[in-house]
Structure 1
Amino acid sequence: MLELSGVSAGYHGGTVLHGVDLSVPAGSVHAVVGHNGAGKTTLVHTVAGLLRPSAGRVRLGGREVAGLPAHRIARAGIGLVPQGRRVFAGLTVAEHLRLAHRPPRASADRPSLWTPARVLELLPRLGERRGHRGANLSGGEQQMLALARALLGSPSVLLLDEPTEGLAPALVEEVDALVSTLAGEGLAVLLVSPSPTQALRCASRVTVLTSGRATLRMDGAEARADPAALTAALELAPVRS
């Protein structure tokens, strides 16, 4: 389980996140929804160790990880799929997978251990593109490759920063199905998005982030049955360019 308690963070002395609390149990999807500038990527970067929190606690399976270097947080069991995919243009799919595979020691904290072969079973399109370089992949294929890289660290928590950005509707549905599959494997998934649509499709819990503050928390099933409160919270939130 991932737990955040009173987390504040920002850049260059400014505060972007203000006392955020949330939890992501194993086997669930927690979607954080908010407009651009709400602090979603700051939240993900803080959990992943790319940004040090100025206050609060981040626990992974009861262990405090706030403030640890990013590589130690990754080894502890947090995998990141960054916004924009960030694949290496000159490396083939097979080379990406080989470099990303760092199997941890098996433990009760890791719901499943991933290998390149197992990743290609889940994402067969990558197997078909094994010899293609990153620059020659479509946007959807690059997103699948970014997901594969994160899985090859065998995380217990998966952070997804706007995973369907720029994808065609059919590929958005494919990503949604994969997110649900991974939660079914026992992963705790923290997904951030500017749109409530994906949250309504696959989230167990939904949090609206407004100017760095959690302004609404809903059960996923409740939000799907009556999305009016979620829609209203986003309509009232200020939009930053």
Structure 2
Amino acid sequence: MQTATVTLALSQEPAGGIAGWAADLVDKMGGVGAGAAIALENLFPPLPSEVILPLTGFAAGQGVLSLASALFWTTLGSVVGAVALYWIGALIGRDRMYAIWAKLPLVKVADLERTEAWFAKHGTKAVFFGRMVPIFRSLISVPAGLERMRMPMFLALTAAGSFIWNTVLVMAGYWLGDQWELVENYVGVLSKAVLLLVLVAVAVFAVRRLTKARAGRAAQHRRS
């Protein structure tokens, strides 16, 4: 009877959509369901961890699963999703990436070489801290695979960074109770800010490249 009451309390909170889907997974599968949802969130970034993790914390507060189970399974799900993306990067491979890069407009092979050099120097920090940055949480696993970062190191950094991020959001949902959706509001703002910064950086990069290319063509025209 107690379990049914707890499950009903969880199921009635989300109105539907992603929150309803995640609540249903956690209701039916407990920690395993939360882990599966987070693994999918890594593979499909539009699925927001700022909904799934606080909801899992709320579920733990309602007794649907234990707090330790929530943290263990969500961290394991993060690692599983990250490893899948790592192997996507590894399967693409360095040579194929260079071949694709050479065909892209507005970029140069030298850009990719500098990126490689940067990742070789700062890759461990990028993987660890990247797990705590919206959007980059998923993307950072791909260059790690491209560069074939040692798997034990990748797993350790991914698990550590994911555990910190997951703990913050799960505990927020646990403490906020039926107001867990407040977490989504604040982290959603952070996600939008990160996305805006990325778009601005891409736009600035594109404008500079186009301006430089036009200046080069104009100088060549004057010489001819």
TM-score by length of 2: 0.28
Q: Point out the structure with the larger strand share.
A: 1
Q: Point out the structure with the larger helix share.
A: 2
TM-score by length of 1: 0.26
